[in-house]
Structure 1
Amino acid sequence: MNSTPIITVNTAADEQGKKMLFWGCFIALTATAFGFVFRAFIMAQWGVQFGLSKTQQGEIFGVGFWPFGISIVFFSLIIDKIGYKKSMIFAFACHLLSVVITIFANGYWMLFAGTFLFALGNGAVEAVVNPVVATMFPKEKTKWLNILHAGWPAGMVVGGLLGIFMINQQFPWQLIIGFILLPAFTYGWIIMKRNFPVNERVKAGVSYLQMLEEVGVLGALIIAALCAFQLGSLFQWPLTVSIIITLVMTGIFGYFVRSLGRPLFILLLVIMIPLATTELGTDSWITELMTPAMKQIGFQGGWVLIYTSIIMALLRLYAGPIVHKLSPIGLLVISSLIAVVGLVFLSYSAGFMIVIAATIYALGKTFFWPTMLGVVSEQFPKGGALAINFTGAVGMMGVGVIGAVILGFVQDKQLDQNLATYDQKNNTTLHTDYLTAPKTGIFGTYKALDAQKIALAPAQAVEQINIVENNAKKSALRTVAIFPAGMFVCYLLLFFYFKSKGGYKPVQIYKNVALPQEVD
């Protein structure tokens, strides 16, 4: 008796439902972008209205990121049990409640809570949309994941344009935040009426334990360490506590799974840390560098974000032919090389040439994130939602725990060196007068600008420091270029690895059958 499961072919109605579900996922990502860009635009206004210090503003910004990683890890472990629709309903509820709390905020803690809930919702969205789209398009995962992730930059463009218009027209910030409800209610309405697919891993009969084995102890170690150190940074507990928590979590996982994980998957997880640092970590630097040039031609600094987001959105929407021509690994090889050129070019650019350099960098970083998710999903379909979502979680938490710290350390060290050189050439004492005493970080000792002393400094000294600081940031970009350079080497080795095996080919659990559209 044939035990092969009977798989029904999608009808025209199923195809229409699949398209609507895809666009629901797309719009959900635009909602996450709306929240990010609106908060970035009005944070200074919150600081004045609620008397927030720069530290408090930074904490509100920070809580917009780390709960995302915690949320996506949690849902990855249970999402096949509770269902995709329930997870998206949770995301919608978080987004809705976040907007309400933020609009009625009366101080720091309500703003903090609203941002926290929004980040939780963002993590749930990401935990759903990636495996859902990979399951709906099993033969074109990388293409459709790139199109899906055009939703983020598209949301940045639309949200950025709305934000600039409303700020120029002096709209109340509560109304600006309220516009998040437009994409939120849209995706909420779509998902309520849709049937979600059963993950291909589940449909193929791959057990939960087999999914965990794909990730393995080493994959769990990476995730556990990032989670523990992220929470340790938040709650300021000792390093030893983070290490103990990491070992306990990994030990429990290893006791049940008893697999180190797939070596290629572990390598891709490790690569996600410099990838996320290259893509997300340097964005703030590029925006700051381009802002003076944009002001010279009469534009606000916010247009920088819109400009680079337009490039990313358009390229991701038309990623299909590019992926088909180059293969996912080939695309990552070329993207890494372009990113190196863009960062180095940017470090030497001035005036309008900064725009050109940033364009090259944007071309390089566009395909990184969704293509990596596509490669993981195509090579490890037995890993299901866990493998693809752990990859995104490592990227997001990696840039917070490791990448952002490295970028800050490099910038501080470069500023220290540049101020000393400036003093020697110009017979000044900026290095002695305006830097702090040596501080110790996880990457070594460094000195930073003393904000209190600078606040009391003469205008001429502040201007000199700003010039040196901008040059330090640009010089540091050459150091940051090491990350995509290392990625280029890794991807090139992977390219030859797949070539030795007959070329890059997605791994398919099902062959010659179509996955159905089913209710959770």
Structure 2
Amino acid sequence: MTAINRHRLFWLSVLALFTASMSASLRAAVASSLKAEWIDPIAPIAAGEMIGAALGSAFLGFSITVFVVSAFLDTIGIRRVLIGCGIAFLIGTTLIVGAGSMATGMTVYHLVWLGMLLSGIGWGFAEASINPLTARLYPEDTTHRLNVLHAWYPGGLIVGGLAGVFLASALPWQAIMALAYIPAIGVVLIASTTRFPAPPATAGSRAMKDMMLEVVRRPSFFIWFGAMFLTASSELAPGQWLDVALSNRVGMRGILLLVYVSALMFVFRHFAGRIAGRLSNPGLLWVSSLLAAIGLFMLSQAQSPASAILASTVWGLGVCAMWPTMLASVAERYPRGDAWALGLVGSAGALASFFVLPRLGEMFDQAKVELAGGPEAFTRLTGPALRAVEDAAASQSFARLAFVPLILLVVFGLIWLSDRRAGRRAEAVA
């Protein structure tokens, strides 16, 4: 019988996550062009909210999928889930790039929304499977391995973002979005030809009951659930909004800021597990929240490439370790929760972006109309006057986001203090 290739399984997990992040980066990179070509002509006043809702639908798909699949992962089988991941990205991408030739009017927007939803489902299939798989493959080094795995999420953002910028003059945005086909096909082929480990001996209805009891009997889990909602609001939603909101105001493509931040994440996540080992997970998350709050406020005030890069550096260093460190904390604190506990917090993170992105778009739309002097006045704006109004509206939307990580400072600060006191009591007893 062929032995389990732990190395191959880990890199398959990397490819699945890379596919999800490259797709997300491509969606962010083409969002402005998609909005201008298909949404602005049919709904100029609500275009910001609509593109925000379309981008957010991916997070809805992720949230539902990771919640359901995590509960039945071992029943379905990790191989099937990863194959489904690749197929969902293939179908979702096809709907996004082909909507204009398949329909007209608002139906085009609905197809785009559905395509992004399916892309989110593909991401959910990936996260629901690769996180518990990695935790099982490396039980002795979970925090470090999850951070290394999730370093490739920004890796995919870098590739997709650079493609969106440097191919924009040579290819239509639909062709750029279609690049997501390449890694998606790879996931399907490799998952189909790789041997996976057998489910744990406890898998089944009994295991599901144990996972649920672990969560229900330990209400502190819901603190982490709520914290994940806020950490994702600090990281994922602003990342999807950068290109739409900042490109005109700071004098450079916002997607390049996402690429730059992703590069910081890619490097830092290879070391975050070691830093958490010295500082503790709550300590690392507290420092991350402080930097994220400062960075988001700086982004709201940035008016030039230099100030935008500085603000992005602070924000990026703040958010880069949040997602994997949250997952590792839950895996270590609630081990019997297994895949379902990880799926629940991942679902919370995605739901945050689903709710926050349309809200960002709505705040942007409301601000631009108010600053212009009303809907009719806004529709008459053109050229520099239109850009000035939209730039001011974008600044307001980012400034309001800065309050989210401030709440996390209190949450992680209390957890950090509680853990330190518990550690001191344990040392005193010993």
Name the TM-score class by shorter chain: 0.7 to 0.9
Pairing partner for 1:89 from 83, 87, 97:
83
How many positions carry a matched residue from both structures? Answer: 412
Deviation at 1:286, TM superposition (A): 5.0
Range moving further from structure 2, 380-389 or 72-81: 72-81
Q: Is the counterpart of residue 356 in structure 1 residue 356 in structure 2?
A: no
Looking at structure 2, the residues matched to 378 and 204 of structure 1 have their Cα atoms a distance apart, in angstroms, of 22
Matched, 1:67 2:61: yes
- The answer to whether the 8 Å contact 1:291/1:304 transfers is no
> 1:13: Cα distance to partner?
5.4
- Residues 269 and 321 in structure 2, CA contact (< 8 A), matched pair in contact too: yes
The answer to whether the Cα contact below 8 Å between 2:291 and 2:315 also exists between their aligned partners in 1 is yes
CA distance in 2 between counterparts of 1:334 and 1:487 reads 10
User: Compared with structure 1, are the counterparts of its residues 493 and 43 closer, same or farther at alpha carbon in structure 2 (3 Å cutoff)?
Assistant: closer
Larger Rg: 1
* 8 Å contact from structure 2 (residues 232, 349) kept in 1: yes
- 1:175 aligned to 2:128? no
Provide, for residues 11-61 of structure 1, a one-character-per-residue CA deviation record: whole Å limited to 9, x for no partner. 9954xx111111111111111122222233334544566566436645543
How far apart, in 2, do the equivalents of 1:461 and 1:159 lie?
Answer: 32
- How far the C-alpha of 1:388 sits from its partner, in A, is 0.5
2:72 aligned counterpart, secondary structure: helix
| Cross-structure match for 1:274 | 230
Q: Distance in 2 between matches of 1:471 and 1:48?
A: 21
- Mapped pair 1:314 → 2:292: no
Structure 1 residue 324: Cα displacement: 2.3
Classify the secondary structure of the residue corresponding to 2:325.
Answer: helix
Query: What's the CA shift string for 1:240-299, capped at 9, x where partnerless?
Result: xxxxxxxxxxxxxxxxxxxxx41221111111122121112333565567535753xxx5
Whether the aligned pair in 1 keeps the contact of 2:211 and 2:340 (CA below 8 Å) is yes
**Which one of the candidate residues 453, 462, 478 is aligned to 2:377?**
453
Q: Counterparts of 1:202 and 1:378 in 2: how far apart (Å)?
A: 19
8 Å CA contact retained: 1:47, 1:57: yes
Judged with a 3 Å threshold, the aligned counterparts in structure 2 of structure 1 residues 503 and 12 are, in CA distance, closer, same or farther, namely farther
2:344 is matched with: 390
Is contact 2:147-2:272 (8 Å) kept? yes
Partner of 1:425: none
Deviations 1:443-486 (A, max 9, x none): xxxxxxx3x4311247686466346435534xx62x53332222
Task: Note if 1:33 corresponds to 2:21.
Answer: yes
What whole-Å deviation, never above 9, does each CA across 1:67-126 have from its counterpart, x for those lacking one? 221111111221121211111122222223334445554231544443332222221111
Q: CA deviation at 1:188?
A: 2.3
Deviation per CA, 1:283-329: give whole Å up to 9, x if none.
3565567535753xxx5443122111111111113323222222222
> Does structure 1 retain, via aligned residues, the 8 Å contact 2:243–2:253?
no
Deviation at 1:158, TM superposition (A): 0.9
Determine which of 419, 422, 425 is the counterpart of 1:498. Answer: 419
Task: Compute the displacement of 1:162 (Å).
Answer: 2.1
Deviation at 1:127, TM superposition (A): 0.8
Written as runs of structure 1 = structure 2, the 5 A alignment for 1:48-127 is: 53=43, 54=47, 57-102=51-96, 104-105=98-99, 106=101, 107=103, 108=108, 109-127=110-128
Structure number with higher relative contact order (C-alpha < 8 Å, ≥ 6 residues apart): 2
Q: 1:291-302 counterparts in 2 under 5 A?
A: 291-292=247-248, 295=251, 299-302=252-255
Find the counterpart in structure 2 of residue 434 from structure 1: 373
Q: Which residue of 1 aligns with 2:291?
A: 338
Instruction: From the superposition, tell whether residues 104 and 503 of structure 1 become closer, same or farther in structure 2 (CA, over 3 Å).
Output: farther
Distance 1:286 1:177 in 2: 17
Distance 1:434 1:165, change over 3 A: same
Provide, for residues 472-508 of structure 1, a one-character-per-residue CA deviation record: whole Å limited to 9, x for no partner: 34xx62x533322221222122122222332799xxx
Aligned CA distance change for structure 1 residues 468 and 336 (closer, same or farther; 3 Å): closer
**Given the superposition, is the C-alpha separation of residues 31 and 354 from structure 1 closer, same or farther in structure 2, using an over 3 Å criterion?**
same
Conserved in 2, the CA contact under 8 Å of 1:293 and 1:354?
no
Q: What SS does the aligned partner of 1:63 have? A: helix
Cα distance in 1 between the residues matched to 2:167 and 2:362? 36
1:165 matched to 2:166: yes
Distance (whole Å) between structure 2 residues aligned to residue 346 and residue 112 of structure 1 = 28
Q: Any unmatched runs of 5+ in structure 2?
A: none
Whether the 8 Å CA contact 2:148–2:270 is kept in 1: the answer is yes
Matches for 1:94-493 after TM superposition, within 5 Å: 94-102=88-96, 104-105=98-99, 106=101, 107=103, 108=108, 109-169=110-170, 171-198=171-198, 202=202, 207-216=207-216, 261-283=217-239, 286-287=242-243, 291-292=247-248, 295=251, 299-351=252-304, 352-401=306-355, 403-404=356-357, 415=367, 434-435=373-374, 450=375, 452-457=376-381, 462=386, 465-466=389-390, 468-473=392-397, 477=399, 479-493=400-414
Q: What is the TM-score when the length of structure 2 is the normalising length?
A: 0.83
Measured in 2, the distance between the counterparts of 1:94 and 1:186 equals: 13
Aligned to 1:446: none
Identity percentage of aligned residues: 27
